[in-house]
Structure 1
Amino acid sequence: MKNFILLAVAFICFSTLNAQKNDIKLQTKYGSDNEELHDLLRFQDVETIKLTFIGEDLKGKNYRLLVKEYTNGSLAKTDTIMDSAKFEYIPVISDSVFEFKYYVKTQSNNTIKMNFMFDRFSTPKVYDIKASEDKYALHDFLKTTEPMSVKLNTETLIMGYFLPYIDKESGWKKYCDVSGSKHSPEDWGTAFNIPNYYLIEILFE
């Protein structure tokens, strides 16, 4: 019986240490600290966010960035923006901090331009707009001001770029009601009658 108790305690301690090891946190920061640059981005209707991942378990890991486009309630396309394991010139993460910036803009030629900017390179992507009468908005998936947990070997939603929900009673266009709702982001199209939106995921492995 004594040996069984010791084994159970050891298992609990191992589980606790393993959970702590996989403790990666995401922090986000919108806009620019430079006032003139911030105003210029707003003038050009460019939304930008800096994503900072922190955790010892990042070291030695590769990463994948995915953009998933949803149209009329269904997943229409999945694009792999970056898969660091497939490019020799992109090393594995060597530090406990990994970060990049994301820029996105709805352009006058009915396209959406996205750009993921890292220290030494960037990965632009252009999509055709499916509904041009409303403005898209960028939101992260942090529920509070506290950092968000990110698990290893699991695709994690980190951002959404989406059209608003039109409140039938007031006629107002609402964005926070979408990103802060109880509905899964994959179900936004049918839950809010949103014709087109994009979800950005990251995977560390």
Structure 2
Amino acid sequence: MRIFLLLTITLLTITNIGAQGVIQLKTDYGSDNNELHELMRFQGIEKITLSFEGESLKGKDYAFIVKEFTNGRLEQTDTIIASSKSDYISKIDTNTFKVDVMIKTRLDSTIKLYAKFNRFSVNKIYDVEKPKDAYALHDFLGANQSLEIKDNTPTYVLGYFLPYIDKETGWKMYCEVSGSNYAPEDWGEQFNIPNYFLVEVRFY
């Protein structure tokens, strides 16, 4: 009986430690306000709210990084924010963390990304060649309700990309890309996508 009790306590402890190191990501698209949602669609603005939750979040620093891939190669890496490198940005002080991301392709062949954190926001502008097709913003949850992110593990959470053109039908496909089993770094080669952006997050 005593051995069984010790074994049970050990298993519960191990399970609890493992759970504390995992962060769950859930996403929400667009706006709850129908009029605002339609206005954003008219303006070509896409919005996703990233909601992170986990006991291990509290006390963590965080980094958000954008990677641009062109013709199958990494073109540039841009840090949106790295809290540990700023004297004005605090560590996460709760077990929840939320970020609003808005993005659009503008007529001057630039992409504008807006990321709103708890007490501040960041704007980024990226130059692109005039695209023949529209970019689309997708998360990496697929058919799942959430995505697991481990502590101190860089994880892609968003992709903003041109479509895959099916050779047989000529259809423009997006979900087939973000929902595929290919590594996001390989999208350019596997789907012949000339340009796309990935948003990577890390908690440490």
Q: TM-score, normalised by structure 1?
A: 0.93
The range that moved more, 112-121 or 14-23, is 14-23
Q: 2:128: which partner in 1?
A: 129
Map 1:32-181 onto structure 2 (within 5 A). 32-181=31-180
Partner residue, 2:20: 21
Gaps of 5+ in 2: none
Mapped contact 1:131–1:196 kept (Cα < 8 A): no
Q: Distance in 2 between matches of 1:138 and 1:19?
A: 31
Matching residue's letter, 2:115 = F
Q: Partner of 1:135: helix, strand, or coil? A: coil
TM superposition shift of 1:14: 4.4
Give ranges in structure 1 of 5+ residues lacking alignment: none
Aligned partner of residue 17 in structure 2, secondary structure: helix
DSSP 3-state at the match of 2:119:
coil
Q: 4+ runs of 1 displaced by more than 3 Å?
A: 5-15
Instruction: Say which is worse superposed, 124-133 or 169-178, in terms of deviation.
Output: 124-133
With 10-19 and 171-180 compared, the bigger mean Cα shift is at: 10-19
Q: Structure 1 residue 13: deviation in Å?
A: 4.7
Question: Quick one: distance in 1 between partners of 2:62 and 2:101?
Answer: 16
Task: Give, in whole Å, the separation in 1 of the partners of 2:175 and 2:130.
Answer: 19
Give the letter for the 1:188 counterpart: W
> Structure 2: how far apart are the matches of 1:52 and 1:195?
30
Q: Is the 8 A contact 2:104 2:111 kept in 1?
A: yes
Instruction: Determine the C-alpha separation between the residues in 2 that align with 1:82 and 1:121.
Output: 11
Which moved further from structure 2: 47-56 or 141-150?
141-150
Q: Name the CA distance, whole Å, in 1 between partners of 2:14 and 2:73.
A: 38
- Partner Cα separation in structure 1 for residue 36 and residue 8 of structure 2: 55
Could you state the TM-score of these two structures normalised by the residue count of structure 2?
Answer: 0.93
Q: After TM superposition, give the deviation of residue 15 of structure 1 in Å.
A: 3.3
Q: Secondary structure at the match of 1:189?
A: helix
User: 2:193 aligns to what SS in structure 1?
Assistant: coil
What SS does structure 2 have at the residue aligned with 1:133? coil
CA RMSD of aligned residues (A): 1.9
Identity %: 51
Contact 1:131–1:195 (CA<8 Å) still a contact in 2?
no
